[in-house]
């Protein structure tokens, strides 16, 4: 039978310690006050946090929701759970792992101006290139001029079963030398000669009898015979480049070089190296010549001695 003992004070017999024997439970029904070293609270829920509401009172704060943080309430009187307000955070310095910059514009680039300082470079304009400034201290955007070359493709020309091919208007003061790459050259009959004339304006060939040139070549045929050939022209109406085949399966190919055509005070010169096949022959021919008058020329006209020619393509390059 349970007994009730009412006393005002309990003291240990040998000191200030009161021992509850093993197996016995000492229950304080109304809870142990804060002034007595307790909490003054009889129960808790998992996640509760204790906080002081006065010098001798404690209260419990229920747990917050996922990812909430503990902060002081607006009155700074008690803690509470809430979401982080990023708008009130200070700008984080570089030393603390931040940028120390509060805002950006689209396209900005960050760069260091010192060991613990960052700056932002605004976006450049279209096609700008990023490079270091003249002092080598910071990046900057610059507009780069288009790439230039000392050897540039200027144009092309093709012709099929035609009396001539004029390639005109490509000469400029930027270049002194021009290279014509010829591919797929053949005529309407075997053994045709091919000639070149210089144009004086708008594709009009110079037909005056002031061309001077020479040609040499060699061939080898399927029977094992070979020969060297040479020819030339003086006070001619055009420059002889080579004989050509008369079949689309027997093509001529090679290069034609024109030198300094726009300078009116000099003579326009031409050399060529062309090879090809004619029936059972393999041949290569070189030629050179000039127009014996100090006049400017705007292009060249390629034509056969008779009949027609086909040229798959001619590609023209200018060289400084």
> For position 15, what pLDDT does the model report?
66
At 259-318, the pLDDT tens digits run 999 988 889 999 999 988 776 778 888 999 999 999 999 999 999 988 999 999 999 999
The first and second tokens of residue 169, run together, are 């208007």
Residue 53 to residue 173: CA distance in whole angstroms: 93
Helix, coil or strand: residue 129? strand
The first and second tokens of residue 9, run together, are 């004070």
Distances (CA, A) of 134 to 118, 127, 176: 20, 20, 35
Which residue in 286, 289, 254 sits closest to 268, CA to CA?
A: 289
> For position 172, what pLDDT does the model report?
93
What residue ranges define each of the domains in the chain, with the CATH number in brackets?
50-62+69-147 (no CATH), 151-319 (2.60.120)
Which residue in 288, 297, 246, 247 sits closest to 267, CA to CA?
A: 297
Kindly give the parts of the chain with pLDDT less than 50. Answer: none
Residue 31 to residue 47: CA distance in whole angstroms: 20
What sign does the dihedral 103-106-112-114 (CA atoms) show?
Answer: negative
Helix, coil or strand: residue 284? strand
Spatial neighbors of 223 by CB under 8 A, at least 6 apart, are: 280
pTM of the model as a whole: 0.57
Compute the half-sphere exposure of residue 180: CA atoms within 13 Å on the CB side of its CA.
31
The first and second tokens of residue 148, run together, are 């230039």
Question: Tokens 């439970």 belong to which residue?
Answer: 25
Q: How many CB atoms lie within 10 A of CB 89?
A: 9
> For position 169, what pLDDT does the model report?
94
Q: Are 35 and 57 in contact (CB under 8 A)?
A: no
């Amino acid at each position: 039978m349970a007994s009730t003992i009412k006393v005002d004070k309990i003291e240990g017999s040998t000191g200030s310690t009161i021992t509850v024997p093993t197996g016995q439970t000492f229950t304080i029904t109304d809870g142990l006050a804060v002034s007595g070293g307790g909490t003054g609270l009889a129960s808790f829920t998992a996640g509760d946090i204790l906080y002081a509401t006065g010098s001798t009172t404690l209260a419990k704060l229920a747990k917050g929701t996922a990812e909430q943080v503990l902060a002081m309430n607006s009155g700074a009187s008690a803690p509470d759970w809430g979401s982080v307000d990023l708008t009130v955070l200070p700008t984080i310095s570089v030393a603390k792992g931040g940028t120390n910059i509060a805002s950006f514009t689209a396209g900005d680039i960050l760069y260091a101006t010192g060991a613990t300082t960052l700056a932002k470079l605004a976006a450049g304009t279209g096609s700008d290139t990023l490079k270091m400034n003249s002092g080598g201290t910071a990046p900057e955007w610059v507009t780069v001029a288009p790439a230039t070359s000392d050897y540039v493709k200027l144009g092309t020309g093709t012709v099929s079963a035609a009396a001539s091919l004029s390639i005109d208007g490509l000469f400029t003061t930027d270049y002194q030398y021009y290279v014509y790459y010829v591919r797929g050259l053949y005529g309407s009959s075997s053994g045709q000669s091919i000639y070149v004339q210089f144009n004086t304006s708008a594709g009009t060939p110079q037909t005056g009898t002031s061309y001077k040139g020479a040609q040499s070549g060699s061939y080898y045929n399927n029977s094992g015979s070979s020969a060297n050939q040479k020819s030339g022209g003086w006070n001619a109406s055009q420059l002889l480049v080579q004989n050509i085949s008369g079949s689309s399966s027997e093509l001529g190919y090679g290069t034609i070089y024109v030198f300094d055509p726009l300078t009116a005070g000099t003579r326009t010169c031409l050399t060529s190296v062309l090879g090809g096949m004619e029936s059972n022959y393999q041949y290569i021919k070189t030629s050179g010549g000039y127009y014996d008058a100090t006049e400017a020329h705007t292009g060249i006209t390629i034509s056969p001695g008779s009949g027609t020619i086909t040229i798959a393509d001619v590609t023209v390059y200018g060289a400084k």
